[in-house]
Structure 1
Amino acid sequence: MVRGRSSDIEFDLRAASSSSARIDRLIRFAAAPSPACRGGLGRAKSPAGTFDAVVGRTPFDDIPIFASVGAAIAAAPITGGKPFRILVTRGRWHEKLVVDKPDIHLVGEDRTASVLTFDAAAGMPRPDGEPWGTWGCASVTIRAPGFRATELTIENAFDYVGNLATPKFEPIGPNGAQAVALMLDAGSDRAMFERVNFIGHQDTLFVDAGRSFFRDCRISGSVDFIFGGGNALFEQCELHSRFRPGKERQGYVAVPCTPSAQAYGLTFVRCRLTRDAAIPDGSVALGRAWRPGRTFPDGKYGDPDAVGAAVYLDCWMDAHVDPRGWDEMGYTARDGKRVMLQPGDARLFEHASAGPGAHRSASRRTLPRDRIAAYARERVLDGWVPI
């Protein structure tokens, strides 16, 4: 396969050469027209007026073509108000992206071949020499409302398995190998993802702010691979556990740090929990509640207001799920001692789990029947109705 590089963007020249017909099909597929491009970029004159920008190499009509996703986002208006729709053609677009403009919509040409990728881990150095940290290592960070992505892949390509065998940097936090693919940061709200693949290992998906909705997505990882304090609803998604060589505890799926006053955290409805073939039975926990360290006037310690909320409703689970369900998780208490936060001290529940990984036990609490109605989509998302 012939490959090229431009501005650190990797792309498949063979695929790009025949993109016009594929773009035409996507334009006919897109559900809603988009506003004209602004700032002297020219007006998109596609048959449906659907895209404001294309990330690729082959022009189509007079839609502005950009050599990187970041450049296309930079061309969007600052004020938002209407979707600014960007078509991401086939290729591995190696960029570290921060979306701080509202109403950016990314549409992939191909779910598995349109890939937004970077490879920073928490313990790796930034350009200034300091480590990225968990909050800084994400391949894609969203800090504005109204973001949407469909039919593409978001990846952190850090070599987690290779680093287990030969660590490449000084650990920070648990190990420095946290490598976030997507982070929903402060400012994000009403973020929607449909038919998107998220690929990572430790800390793949960091949903830490606002309301978000994931439908028909595939999230893959191993340790704490869906985590954070935001209000995230997952419907009919695949939660895929990846193999960690040499580890008895293969991983943890849902790891919320939900604020105590927030009713909803990580909510999974009709999802499937699957695994790599090498993962043994009973070796993956449904999750654990996280109490992240915060700085307070009297010191830094685990945030006592973080009372994680995670619920699995009508989900199918393969046999890799531990019959005990949930694990405890350590944090530093106010007095400096190391304390384990027990599952029963957080809001961790199931309802109507099925499959070989579904078990009834005292450690796997069932959501009370009179609370099931509270998990209707419009209630979880507090009146926001994703379309």
Structure 2
Amino acid sequence: MAMMMPKLLLLIFLLASASSTLNADGSNELVMTEEAYRSWVKRVGSFKHSVFQKAKNKLKPCLTIKVDKDQSLGHFASVQKAVDSLPVNNPCRVVISIGAGIYREKVVIPAIKAYVSLEGAGADKTIIEWNDTADLVGQTGRPLGTFGSATFAVNSPYFIAKNITFQNKAPPPPSGALGKQAVALRISADTAAFIGCKFIGAQDTLYDHMGRHYFRDCYIQGSVDFIFGNGLSLYEGCHLHAITNSVGALTAQKRDGLLEETGFSFVHCKVTGSGALYLGRAWGTFSRVVFAFTFMDKIINPSGWYAWGNKSREMTVFYGQYQCSGPGADFGRRVSWSRELTQQEAKPFISIGFVDGYEWLTNL
């Protein structure tokens, strides 16, 4: 019942905003005017973030732990063992410095260990990798599922990662294969930042699950829905690279309610790769994604967006672009239910204020 309320609010709003016209055959038809549509865009594009608490980050480190493949050069040879050494309800910023090398392990940052920073020797030098897929049977005797397939999982707030590669090495699945989702990183907590990192995978590479997140100067590679979830996230200066020889999708945003304050915004990014790539698929009924000042190579499907085979979502999603460039950025053949945004409409999406970043990202 609770899930019906946002749809009811939307229906009331659209009906109130529509004008009644008379067809040639005498039948009445409700038609939404351009003015009403602009009002709808303004409404769904506004952010008050009332569901989030005020963010109070702690950036000054109180402890540094060294991880190195050669344990004689560090405190631990395993990233997970370094995380496990932290006290429960850690009260201050802890930096885990990770030396160059390939760390073959699954890592989980538990919810009770906040203020953790991981700093690598460079994204091409420090690599954390594993190869689980959703259909793999775990220790419980059941398939891991997409959630459990992650090479690296973050469940605690105020997490920071710099200059590290997170990789799921499961091979790219054939088109239409089931259970082959293979997450490189899952972020399931509020106020997380990733700077200069790489996320390497194929289907479902980056699970942007929930919370406010910031990605700067990152490289994200995949094939289908390779950035997905219901986070409220800003991607700034990121390189998004598709690896598919058929049809792929960059995003699958999961916003399911009109009042959910979530969505993905890509600003000053570039999209490259192979195949025919949708900018996004409407995983959620109210899916919300914006691209601004982004270079799009010719791989972009001219229609841009896909409603997940559900035409009703064409009335509720919020898909827009603003001052994008490149051969794939032409708005002329986009689906009619996407939007070339005005400066005013794009404004809420193009600064760190989109994720309340002035509270928790300054001096990062």
State TM-score, norm by structure 1.
Answer: 0.72
Tell me which amino acid in the other structure corresponds to 2:296.
M
What residue number does 1:271 align with? 269
1:181 aligns with 2:208: no
Question: Which residue of 308, 312, 334 corresponds with 2:287?
Answer: 308
Equivalent position amino acid for 1:356 in 2? P
Cα distance in 2, alignment partners of residues 318 and 341 from structure 1: 30
Tell me the amino acid that sits aligned with residue 284 of structure 1.
Answer: L
Distance in 1 (alpha carbons) for counterparts of 2:151 and 2:234: 21
Amino acid in the other structure paired with 1:269:
V
Query: Which residue of 2 is the match for residue 79 of structure 1?
Result: 89
When the two chains are superposed, the root-mean-square deviation of aligned CA atoms in Å is 2.0
Letter of the aligned partner of 2:359 in structure 1?
W
Aligned counterpart for 2:161 among listed residues 138, 149, 159? 149
Which 5+ residue runs of structure 1 have no aligned equivalent?
1-31, 37-50, 166-170, 292-305, 331-338
Q: Secondary structure at the match of 1:261?
A: coil
Q: How does 1:219-368 map to 2 (within 5 A)?
A: 219-244=220-245, 247=246, 249=247, 251-258=248-255, 259-275=257-273, 279-280=274-275, 283-291=276-284, 306-330=285-309, 339=310, 342-361=313-332, 362-363=334-335, 364-368=338-342
Deviations 1:9-40 (A, max 9, x none): xxxxxxxxxxxxxxxxxxxxxxx76324xxxx
> Aligned equivalents of 1:134 and 1:200: distance in 2?
13
- Amino acid paired to 1:261: L
- 2:18 is matched with none
Name the aligned partner's letter for residue 190 of structure 1. T
Q: Which residue of 1 aligns with 2:26?
A: none
What secondary structure is seen at the aligned counterpart in 1 of 2:353? helix
CA–CA distance in structure 2, aligned partners of residues 55 and 344 of structure 1:
52
Report the alpha carbon displacement of residue 160 of structure 1 after superposing the two structures with TM. 2.1
Greater displacement, 312-321 / 373-382: 373-382
- The answer (yes or no) to whether the contact 1:289–1:341 under 8 Å persists in 2 is no
Question: Once the two structures are superposed, what CA deviation does each residue of 1:287-308 show, in whole Å capped at 9, x if it has no partner?
Answer: 11103xxxxxxxxxxxxxx411
Give the Cα separation in 2 of the matches to 1:90 and 1:344. 49
* Structure 1 residue 255 displacement after superposition: 1.1
Deviation, structure 1 residue 76 = 1.5
Shift, 1:227, TM fit: 0.6
Distance 1:119 1:340, change over 3 A: farther
Correspondent of 2:347 among 359, 373, 380: 373
Take 1:341 and 1:227, find their aligned partners in 2: how far apart are those partners?
Answer: 21
Question: Is residue 181–residue 204 contact of structure 1 (8 Å, CA) maintained in 2?
Answer: yes
Change (3 A) 1:77 1:159: same
Check whether the contact 1:55–1:86 (CA below 8 A) recurs between aligned residues: no
The structural deviation recorded for 1:194 is 0.4
Distance 2:135 2:196 in 1: 31
Post-superposition Cα deviations, 1:291-343, rounded to whole Å, max 9, x if no partner, equal 3xxxxxxxxxxxxxx4111000110000000111111214xxxxxxxx45544
- Name the CA distance, whole Å, in 2 between partners of 1:315 and 1:369: 15
Measured in 1, the distance between the counterparts of 2:106 and 2:311 equals: 35
Task: Report the equivalent of 1:13.
Answer: none
Q: Note if contact 2:106-2:129 (Cα within 8 Å) is conserved in structure 1.
A: yes
1:68 corresponding residue in structure 2:
78
Q: Which residue of 1 aligns with 2:16?
A: none
TM-score by length of 2: 0.77
Structure number with higher relative contact order (C-alpha < 8 Å, ≥ 6 residues apart): 2
Q: In 1, are the aligned partners of 2:71 and 2:77 still within 8 Å (CA)?
A: no
For the residue of structure 2 that corresponds to 1:135, the secondary structure is helix
